[in-house]
Amino acid sequence: MAQKTVDEPARQTPVIHETDVLVVGSGPGGLAAALAAAREGVSVTLLERFGCFGGNITVVGVEGFAWYRHEKTVESGGIGWEFEERAKAMGAAVPESQSLSYELDSEGFKLVADALVEEAGIHPMLHRQFVAPIMDGDAIAGVVVESKAGREAILARRVIDATGDADVAHRAGAPTHKTPVEEMQAASVMFHLAGVDKRAFMAGVAADPQTYKDWSTGEWEVETDGKEDAMFSPFLRKPFAQAIDEGHIPAHLNTIGGTWGAVHDSGEMTYMNLVHLAGCDGTDPDSLTRFEIEGRRQAMQAIDALRRYTPGCEGVRLRNFGMSIGIRDTRKIDAVYNMTEADVRHEGRFDDTIGIYPEFIDGYGVLILPTTGRYMQIPYRAMLPKKVENLLVAGRAIGGDRIAHAATRNMACCAVAGQGAGVAAALSVKAGCALADVDIGRVQAAIEAQGARIH
Which sequence spans correspond to the domains of the chain? 15-179+330-450, 182-321
Which pLDDT score is estimated for 76? 97
pLDDT at 361 over 70: yes
Which pLDDT score is estimated for 124? 99
pTM value > 0.75: yes
Relative to beta strand 123-125, strand 44-47 is parallel
> For residue 53, what pLDDT band results from cuts at 50, 70 and 90?
very high
Q: What is the mean pLDDT of residues 447-451?
A: 99
Calculate helix-pair angle for 78-89, 411-431, nearest 10 degrees: 120
Which pLDDT score is estimated for 220? 61
Question: Which overall architecture, per CATH, does domain 15-179+330-450 show?
Answer: 3-Layer(bba) Sandwich (3.50)
94-103, 348-357, 384-393: which range is least confident on average?
Answer: 94-103
Measuring CA to CA, how many Å separate 329 from each of 54, 162, 171, 383? 18, 14, 18, 17
pLDDT at 107 over 90: yes
Q: Nearest CA to 177 among 426, 399, 432?
A: 399
200-218 residues labelled b (16+ CB within 10 A) or e (exposed): ebeeebeeeebebbbbebb
pLDDT at 109 over 90: yes
Q: What is the mean pLDDT of the chain?
A: 97
Which pLDDT score is estimated for 224? 83
pLDDT at 142 over 70: yes
Which pLDDT score is estimated for 227? 85
pLDDT at 136 over 90: yes
Q: What is the mean pLDDT of residues 133-154?
A: 99
Which pLDDT score is estimated for 219? 59
Per residue in 165-203, pLDDT (tens digit) is 999 999 999 999 999 999 999 999 999 999 999 999 999
